[in-house]
């Protein structure tokens, strides 16, 4: 599964694996793909430095990348405390009542929330980049539009390619005009933040719009046959995220959540603003249903919603309250029916890719 882009980055297979877990990212790179570590769950630089040190020691010299979340436009002088103060008390009351309804225990006195998406804040993302640029990162991806121009320039000065996710050809063109190197065309089926255009339509539209920039197909990809389809549509690789959640190396630390993922079908996800304030595909739960209830206050915009629900999500996860327990995941969750090591997933992907190519060759009379 070699393309011009994968050859440029020095990887065997044009499979870009996004994950919040360093062990998964490293295993993807060791398997011949390109592991991309998501930084949004980290705070400022020290935590990220610790895990990038670990990546350096466990990737066997293979290349890897980093995914951050930062807005293209900078807002000066706004702190996390300023944003917290903007959250209406009615929304805080709604969260407390929803947790009480399901009997979710409080955190222990003095215990901090373990789920703080402060990485949505630009100053935190910039501190992460200050750390990342000291490591041999080969690709910097941004999940929230084009990165600020100074970040793109700084990455290029370090010889790092810059990528961004796009949910439409219009978004992709904006990335091209901003000087980015790689476009990730993320379809409606994807987990996490996603637009409304399905991958089969989106990928060729983006390929045509940004030619000759390389495009990665993303959204609903979890088999080698789907990888072959993405490349046939003009992509130079695929961006896979959800599939790694049920690998042995993933650090979900929740038997209940793993059970829910293994049992879920492709129709058991929903695009909801309940987690971050922007539409993000995730497991449908009583938590997402509560935020869609017309009698409720409805989600706040990003980043208010993420800060509002941070402690609640930590409590739900810690105590494994199954009716409320969920995670961002794409429609490909219907294929995720067993826990396997990353290498086994990769072996299946390559076998499926070979089957697809053989099938097409037979149809074309070449075999």
What average pLDDT does the segment 58-72 reach?
89
Same domain, 242 and 344: yes
Q: Is 179 within a domain?
A: yes
CA–CA distances in Å: residue 258 to residues 12, 32, 80, 253, 264: 30, 26, 32, 9, 10
Entry field: residues in the chain:
367
Q: Is 93 within a domain?
A: yes
Q: Is the pLDDT of residue 272 over 70?
A: yes
Tokens of 281: 């595909």
Q: Is 334 within a domain?
A: no
Instruction: Read off the pLDDT of residues 291-335 as tens digits, 9 standing for 90 and up.
Output: 999 999 999 998 889 889 999 999 999 999 999 999 999 999 999
Ranges of beta strands (E only) in 219-328 are 237-240, 269-272, 280-283
Nearest in space to 174 (alpha carbons), one of 144, 152, 198, 166:
166
Same domain, 289 and 212: no
CA–CA distances in Å: residue 86 to residues 40, 79, 92, 353, 360: 22, 11, 11, 50, 56
The reported pLDDT for the residue numbered 70 is 77
Q: Is 332 within a domain?
A: no
Same domain, 246 and 256: no
Q: Is the pLDDT of residue 72 over 90?
A: no
Same domain, 8 and 31: yes
Classify residue 62 as exposed, middle or buried by CB count within 10 Å of its CB (0-12, 13-18, 19+). Answer: buried
How much is the mean pLDDT over the chain?
A: 93
Q: CA-CA distance, 129 to 135, in Å (whole number)? A: 10
Q: Is 331 within a domain?
A: no
What average pLDDT does the segment 163-190 reach?
97
- Number of separate domains in the chain: 2
Could you tell me the residue range of the domain that residue 91 belongs to?
Answer: 80-115+252-324
Same domain, 96 and 189: no
The reported pLDDT for the residue numbered 105 is 95
The reported pLDDT for the residue numbered 133 is 95
| pLDDT over 70, % of the chain | 94
CA–CA distances in Å: residue 117 to residues 74, 147, 176: 18, 18, 28
- Band of pLDDT at residue 75, cut at 50, 70 and 90: low
Reported pTM: 0.93
Same domain, 85 and 62: no
Neighbour count for residue 289 (Cβ, 10 Å):
15
Question: How remote is the C-alpha of 8 from its chain's centroid?
Answer: 23
């Amino acid at each position: 599964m070699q393309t011009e882009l994968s050859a440029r980055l020095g990887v065997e297979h044009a499979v870009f694996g996004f994950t919040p877990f360093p062990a998964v990212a490293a295993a993807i790179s060791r398997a011949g793909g390109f592991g991309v570590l998501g930084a949004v769950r980290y705070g400022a630089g020290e935590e990220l430095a610790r895990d990038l040190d670990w990546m350096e020691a466990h990737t066997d010299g293979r290349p890897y990348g980093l995914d951050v979340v930062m807005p293209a436009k900078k807002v000066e002088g706004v702190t996390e405390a300023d944003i917290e103060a903007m959250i209406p008390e009615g929304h805080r009351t709604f969260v407390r009542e929803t947790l009480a309804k399901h009997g979710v225990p409080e955190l222990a006195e003095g215990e901090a929330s373990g789920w703080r998406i402060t990485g949505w804040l630009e100053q935190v993302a910039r501190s992460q980049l200050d750390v990342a640029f000291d490591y041999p990162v080969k690709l910097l991806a941004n999940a929230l539009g084009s990165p600020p121009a100074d970040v793109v320039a700084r990455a290029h000065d370090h010889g790092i390619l810059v990528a961004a996710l796009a949910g439409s050809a219009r978004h992709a063109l904006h990335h091209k005009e901003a000087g980015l190197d790689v476009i990730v065309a993320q379809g409606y089926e994807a987990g996490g933040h996603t637009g409304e255009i399905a991958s089969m339509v989106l990928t060729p539209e983006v390929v045509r719009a940004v030619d000759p920039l390389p495009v990665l197909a993303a959204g609903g990809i979890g088999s080698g046959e789907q990888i072959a389809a993405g490349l046939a549509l003009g992509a130079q690789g695929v961006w896979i995220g959800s599939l790694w959640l049920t690998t042995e190396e993933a650090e979900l630390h929740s038997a209940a959540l793993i059970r829910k993922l293994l049992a879920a079908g492709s129709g058991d996800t929903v695009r909801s603003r309940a987690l971050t304030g922007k539409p993000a595909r995730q497991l449908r739960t009583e938590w997402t249903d509560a935020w869609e209830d017309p009698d409720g206050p409805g989600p706040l915009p990003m980043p208010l919603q993420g800060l509002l629900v941070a402690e609640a999500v930590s409590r739900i996860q810690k105590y494994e309250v199954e009716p409320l327990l969920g995670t961002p995941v794409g429609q490909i969750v219907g294929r995720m029916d067993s826990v396997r090591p990353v290498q086994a997933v990769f072996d299946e992907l390559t076998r499926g890719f070979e089957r697809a190519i053989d099938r097409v060759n037979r149809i074309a009379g070449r075999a």
